[in-house]
Amino acid sequence: MSTATTMHDETGHVPPAEVEEVELYHAKTWLGKYVFSQDAKVIAIQYGCTAIAIGMVGLVLSLMMRLQLGFPNEFSFINPSNYIQAVTMHGMIMVVYLLTALFLGGFGNYFIPIMIGARDMVFPYVNMLSFWIYLLSVLILVASFFVPGGPSGAGWTLYPPQVMLEGTPGHEWGAILMLVSLAFFIIGFTMGGLNYVVTVLQARTRGMTLMRLPLTVWGIFMATILALLAFPALLVSAIMMLFDMLLGASFFMPAIVSMGEQLDHSGGSPILFQHLFWFFGHPEVYIVALPAFGMVSDILSVHARKAIFGYRMMVWAIVAIGGLSFIVWAHHMYVSGMNPYFGFFFATTTLIIAVPTALKVYNWVLTLWRGNIHLTIPMLFAIGFIFTFVNGGLTGLFLGNVTVDLPLSDTLFVVAHFHMVMAVSPVLVLYGAIYHWYPKISGRMFHQGMAQFHFWITFVGSYAIYYPMHYLGLMGVPRRYFSMGSTDFILPSAQGLNEFITIAAIIVGVTQLLFIYNLVWSLFKGEKASDNPWNATTLEWQTATTPPGHGNFGKELPLVYRWPYDYSVPGEDIDFLPQNQPPRGAG
Amino acid sequence: MTITLLFMAFLMGVVVWWLVKQTINIKPWVMDDGVLVGDVDAGVLSEPKAKTGLWVFLAVVTSMFCLFISAYAMRMKLGDWTPLPEPDLLWVNTGLLVLSSIALQWARNAAKQDRIDSLKVGLNVAGVLTIGFIVGQLFAWRQLVDDGYFLNSNPANAFFYLFTALHGLHILGGLVAWIRAVSRLWRGSDAAQVRLSVELCAVYWHFLLIVWLILFGLMLST
Ligand code: HEM
Ligand SMILES: [Cu+2]
C-alpha cells in the first residue's frame, strides 16, 4: 500500500529556506586530521578498527575453548584456569568491546550525521575524547592478560562472591582491571552517546522530520538511549564491587570461608549484584539488537527495491522494545531462588516483548514479499539474519518460561540460544552492513567471490556450530565446564558432536580472516565504486564525493523532500527517488 | 529497584509522549502531507545544543543515582545494617551548597541582564562556597573516621562514603566548567559570551543540590 498512495502536490511547493550552516573545525596538522581527528567519520573508522581488532582476540579465545571441548586434554596449553578465563574474556569482549563499540561507536558515528544531513556530530571534541577513552579501556582490558594471575575467570557476568575468591583465576588484578576497564568504557560511551542523541535531535537538515529518518538512525538512536540509561547500572555495580574488593566493604560479599579462612566480609547480598548487573545486561541485548534491526531494515529495502513494510510500526516497535527491555531483567535470575510471583511477572513481560519483535520479523518478510529481490552480498547477510534471529528468538520463548528454564539454565542450550540471537544475528547484520556501505566508506567495491565464500561459510557454519549445541544442552551438558568428567546423563555421542562443532568453529573462524583480507585487498585493488552503487535513496549515497570528505556534503547541505523508502514508485522512470530529490514540478 | 523503575517509566513516558506528538498521523510516504515540501525545519529543537546535551547528561546521572538508591534500599533490609549518626557538620555543608546554588542563579540572572559586575561576584561567590562544601565534606569524613565509623565496618557507613564521594566527584566536574567560565571572564569576555556557560553551570548546580538533598534525606531518615 505504501508507495501506491504517493502523490505529488505540484502547486503546494514552497521554495526551501536556507539551511543554517555550521562552522566546522579544520585540523591543520596530519596528526589532527588522522589521529586526533574530530571528524565523526574518522572516529568511526578508529572505533571500527579497534573493535574488530579486539574482536579477533575474542574469536581466538573462543577457538581455544572449542579446542578443549572438542578434543579434551589434547592441548597442553589449555588448563582449567585459562579455560575459564577464556570464557570470561571472550564473553565480555564480544558483547561490550566488539558489538556495542562497533554498532554505536562505529556505525553510529559514521551514519548518524551523514544520514540526517549534518556535517558532523554536535560536539566533535567530546566525540574524539570518547574514542580515546574507549581505546584506553581496551588497553586496560588487554593489560589484564599480562598481570600476575591473568584476567578474571568469573564468567562474563562477574558474579560475586566467586569473582574475588581465591579459587577463581584473576581474582586480584584481573578482576580489578576488568572493572576499571568497564568504568572507562562507560565514561567513553557516555561522551559518544550524548553526541548521538543530541545530533539526532538537533542537527537534522531541513525537511528531515523524525518520520523521515532511515530506520538505521532510529535503531541507533534508541539503542543509544537504552545504553545511556542502562550502562549506569553496570557502572554502579562495578563501583560497588571495587569497594568490596579494595576497601573491604560488604555490599555484595556475604560472610564466607574460602580455603579454610574466614574472609573479612559479612552480610552482603550477591543477589543485589545480579539485579544491578542484569538491569544493565538485558537492555544490553537490545543495545546491540536495535541498531542491527535498523540496518537490516534498510538493507532489505534497498536490495528488494521496495519500501520497508510498515515503517511507522517499525519505529514504534523499536521504541516499545526499548521501553520493555527495562522490565525483563530478572529472567536471567530464575534460578536465584526468587519469589514465584516475581518469576511469573518477569516471564510475562519477557513474552510480551516478543510481540513487537515478532512484528518486526513479519515486516521484514513482508518487505521481501513481491519485492524485486537482488541477492547481493548485503542482502544475503540480511536474509541470513532473519533466519538466525527467528531461530534464536524461538528458543528465547522456551527460556523465558520459568519451568522450562530451570532445567535448561546453565546448559549449552542457553549458550546456543544467546549465540543465535545476540552473537550470530548481529554479526551477520554487521557483515551485511559493512559490505553494503564499504563502497561509500572506502570508495571501492569489495571482491565478490571472497564475499560470497565468506557469507556461505559463515552462515552455514554458524548453524553447524550452534544447532547441535541445542541438543547437547537438552541432554544436560553444562556451560563453562572445562571437562565433563564421568557423567551418566551425558551420552558418549556428545563427544562426537562436540568434535564436529569444534571443526566447524575452526573453519568459520579462519574464514573471518578472509573477510579482513578482502577489506584490505579491496581498499587497494578493488574496482572503483560509483557514488551510489546500490541506487539507494538515503542521504549518505548522495554526497558529492566518494568517500565523503570532511563535512560530508558539498557546499550546501541537502534538503529533504521525502521519506527514505521511495523505491519503485509507480509512474516514475527510475526505481528510486533520493530523499533530496524535489517533487516533480518544483524547481 | 522500584525507584529506578519509576524513573525509567517517567523517562520512557517522556520519550513516548514526545514521539507520539511527532509521529502520530504522519504518513511519510504520502507526498502532500504538508511537511513534504521544502520549507520545514523538521521539528528540530531550538534550544542551544549544549543545553540539550546537559539535560541528556543529567538523565544519565539521575539513572545512576537512582540505581545507587535502589541498591541502598535493598541492602538496608539485610540484618547487619546499623545506621550511622550523620555528623552535624553535614547541615553546614548543605547550607553552603544551597547558598552556592543561589549565588549561581544570581549570576545567571545577572548574565541575562548584562550586569557584568554582579555576574562576576555571583560566580566567584558560588565557586568559593562550593569549594567550602567539598572541604566540609572531607572534614565530615575525617570526623567519622576519628569516631571509628570506618567504611568496612558497616554497609551503612560504606554507602555514606560512596554517596558523598560520588556526589563530590560530580561537583568537582562542575567546578571544571566553572573554572572555564571564570577564566573567560578574566580574559575579558563580556556577559553575553559566558551567558550560556553560566546558565548551564546553574542548572547543573541546582541538579546536584537536589541530588544531595535526596541522598542526605535518605541517609538521615534511615
Ligand atoms: C566464532 C564465533 C564464536 C564461537 C565459536 C563462540 C564460542 C563460545 C563458547 C565455546 C563459549 C563458552 C560456552 C560455555 O562453555 O559456557 C562461549 C561463550 C560466550 N560467548 Fe561466544 N562464540 C562465538 C562468538 C560470540 C559472539 C560474536 C558473541 C557476542 C555476543 C559471543 C558471546 C558469548 C558470551 C556472552 C558467552 C558467555 C561467556 C560466559 O559464560 O561468561 N560469542 N562462546
Ligand atoms: Cu534478557
Q: How far is the CA of A86 from the centre of ligand 1 (A)?
A: 10
* Cα A21 to Cα A38: distance, rounded to the nearest angstrom: 18
Percentage, residues of chain A above pLDDT 70:
96
* Cα A101 to Cα A130: distance, rounded to the nearest angstrom: 11
pLDDT band at A32, cuts 50/70/90?
confident
Chain A residue whose CA is closest to B40 = A207
Which cell numbers in the block locate residue A270?
550477591
Dihedral of alpha carbons B207, B71, A243, B96, sign: positive
Query: Is B135's pLDDT higher than 80?
Result: yes
pLDDT value at residue A315: 93
Averaged pLDDT for residues B119-144: 96
**Exposed / middle / buried, residue A63 (Cβ in 10 Å: 0-12, 13-18, 19+):** middle
Q: Is B148 helix (H, G, I), strand (E, B) or coil?
A: coil
Give the 3-state secondary structure of A529-578. CCCCCCCCCCHHHHCCCCCCCCCCCCCCCCCCCCCCCCECCCCCCCCECC
**B37 contacts in chain A (CB < 8 Å):** 9, 12-14, 561, 583, 586
pLDDT value at residue B4: 87
* Cα A351 to Cα A393: distance, rounded to the nearest angstrom: 11
Percentage, residues of chain B above pLDDT 70:
94
Percentage, residues of chain A above pLDDT 90:
80
Averaged pLDDT for residues A210-237: 95
Q: Which of B56, B159, B160 to mutate to test the interface with A (most CBs of A within 10 A)?
A: B56
Sorted by sequence, the CB contacts under 8 Å of residue A263 that are 6+ apart come out as A253, A255, A256, A257
pLDDT value at residue A19: 52
Reported as a single tens digit per residue, the pLDDT across A411-466 is 999 999 999 999 999 999 999 999 999 999 999 999 999 999 999 999 999 999 99
pLDDT value at residue A25: 72
Q: Quote the longest CA-to-CA distance of chain B.
A: 74
Comparing C-alpha atoms, which of A130, A135, A138 is closest to residue A195? Answer: A130
Query: Is A5's pLDDT higher than 50?
Result: no
Query: Is A1's pLDDT higher than 50?
Result: no
Comparing C-alpha atoms, which of A270, A282, A292, A275 is closest to residue A400? Answer: A282
CB A86 within 8 A of CB A4: no
Q: How far is the CA of A473 from the centre of ligand 1 (A)?
A: 14
pLDDT value at residue A22: 64
Reported as a single tens digit per residue, the pLDDT across B42-58 is 667 778 899 999 999 99
Buried b (16+ CB within 10 A) or exposed e, A16-30: beebeeeeeeebeee
Reported as a single tens digit per residue, the pLDDT across B189-217 is 888 889 999 999 999 999 999 999 999 99
Averaged pLDDT for residues A363-382: 96
Chain centroid to Cα A9, Å, comes to: 41
- Beta-sheet pairing, A257-258 with A261-262: antiparallel
Averaged pLDDT for residues A261-265: 88
CB of A64 within 6 A of ligand 1: the answer is: no
Comparing C-alpha atoms, which of A151, A144, A161 is closest to residue A259? Answer: A161
pLDDT value at residue A101: 97
Cβ pair B80:A123 closer than 8 A: no
Domains defined along chain A, listed by start = 41-251+267-542 (1.20.210.10)
**B19 contacts in chain A (CB < 8 Å):** 210, 315-316, 319
CA of A157, closest atom in ligand 1 = 41
Q: Is A257 helix (H, G, I), strand (E, B) or coil?
A: strand
Place of cell 548481529: A426
Query: Is A8's pLDDT higher than 50?
Result: no
Sorted by sequence, the CB contacts under 8 Å of residue A458 that are 6+ apart come out as A428, A431, A508, A511, A512
DSSP summary character for residue A18: P
CB atoms within 10 A of CB A96: 26
Reported as a single tens digit per residue, the pLDDT across B151-184 is 988 999 999 999 999 999 999 999 999 999 999 9
Query: Which of B42, B59, B60 is facing A206, going by the closest CB pair?
Result: B42
Sorted by sequence, the CB contacts under 8 Å of residue B87 that are 6+ apart come out as B140, B143, B144
Cβ pair A268:B42 closer than 8 A: no
**B168 contacts in chain A (CB < 8 Å):** none
Helix residue spans in B40-154 (DSSP H): 49-76, 89-112, 116-146
CATH numeric code, B2-220: 1.20.120.80
Dihedral class, residue B172 (left if φ above 0, else alpha if ψ from -120 to 50, else beta): alpha
* Cα A32 to Cα B72: distance, rounded to the nearest angstrom: 45
pLDDT band at A537, cuts 50/70/90?
very high
pLDDT value at residue A480: 94
Which helix (H) or strand (E) segment is B194 a member of? helix B191-221
* Cα A278 to Cα B67: distance, rounded to the nearest angstrom: 12
ipTM value? 0.93
Give the closest-approach CA distance of A495 to chain B in angstroms: 43
Reported as a single tens digit per residue, the pLDDT across A559-586 is 888 899 999 988 888 899 999 888 876 5
Q: How far is the CA of A83 from the centre of ligand 1 (A)?
A: 12
Tell me how far CA of residue A136 lies from CA of A33, A212, A222, in angstroms.
20, 37, 26
Q: Which of A11, A187, A199, A243 to mutate to test the interface with B (most CBs of B within 10 A)?
A: A243
CB A390 within 8 A of CB A357: no
DSSP assignment of A414-464: HHHHHIIIIIIHHHHHHHHHHHHHHHHHHSBPPPHHHHHHHHHHHHHHHHH
Q: How far is the CA of A322 from the centre of ligand 2 (A)?
A: 12
- Mutation pick for ligand 1 pocket among A56, A90, A389 (CB with most ligand atoms within 8 Å): A90
pLDDT value at residue A15: 44
Average pLDDT along chain B = 90
Q: What are the φ/ψ torsions at residue A223 (nearest 5 degrees)?
A: -60, -35
Query: Is A259's pLDDT higher than 90?
Result: no
pLDDT value at residue A587: 45
pTM of the model: 0.94
Buried b (16+ CB within 10 A) or exposed e, A307-322: bbbbbbbbbbbbbbbb
pLDDT value at residue A21: 63
Q: How far is the CA of A399 from the centre of ligand 2 (A)?
A: 10
Least confident of B9-18, B54-63, B70-79: B9-18
Tell me how far CA of residue A68 lies from CA of A49, A62, A133, in angstroms.
29, 10, 35
pLDDT value at residue B39: 46
Which cell numbers in the block locate residue B192?
553575553
Whether A375 has its CB under 8 Å from any CB of chain B: the answer is: no
Q: Please, how many CA atoms are within 13 Å of residue A513, restricted to the half-sphere of its CB?
A: 6
Averaged pLDDT for residues A193-214: 92
Would you list the domain boundaries of chain B? Answer: 2-220
Averaged pLDDT for residues A266-295: 95
CB of A91 within 6 A of ligand 1: the answer is: yes
Query: Is A555's pLDDT higher than 80?
Result: yes
Cβ pair A210:B52 closer than 8 A: no
Tell me how far CA of residue A93 lies from CA of A57, A99, A159, A224, A400, in angstroms.
8, 8, 17, 19, 25
Reported as a single tens digit per residue, the pLDDT across A116-164 is 999 999 999 999 999 999 999 999 999 999 999 999 999 999 999 999 9
Reported as a single tens digit per residue, the pLDDT across A384-412 is 999 999 999 999 999 999 999 999 999 99
Whether B89 has its CB under 8 Å from any CB of chain A: the answer is: no
- Beta bridge partners of residue A147, listed in sequence order: none
Whether B22 has its CB under 8 Å from any CB of chain A: the answer is: yes
pLDDT, greater one: A192 or A340: A192
Size of chain B in residues:
222
Query: Is A488's pLDDT higher than 80?
Result: yes
Cβ pair B39:A15 closer than 8 A: yes
Dihedral class, residue B169 (left if φ above 0, else alpha if ψ from -120 to 50, else beta): alpha
* Cα A435 to Cα A445: distance, rounded to the nearest angstrom: 9
Which cell numbers in the block locate residue B46?
531550538
pLDDT value at residue A284: 95
Query: Is A382's pLDDT higher than 50?
Result: yes
Query: Is A329's pLDDT higher than 50?
Result: yes
* Cα B183 to Cα B163: distance, rounded to the nearest angstrom: 30
Query: Is B36's pLDDT higher than 90?
Result: no
Nearest CA to ligand 1 atom 9: A62
Reported as a single tens digit per residue, the pLDDT across A83-119 is 999 999 999 999 999 999 999 999 999 999 999 999 9
* Cα A418 to Cα A413: distance, rounded to the nearest angstrom: 9
DSSP summary character for residue A583: P
Dihedral class, residue A14 (left if φ above 0, else alpha if ψ from -120 to 50, else beta): beta
* Cα A522 to Cα A338: distance, rounded to the nearest angstrom: 54
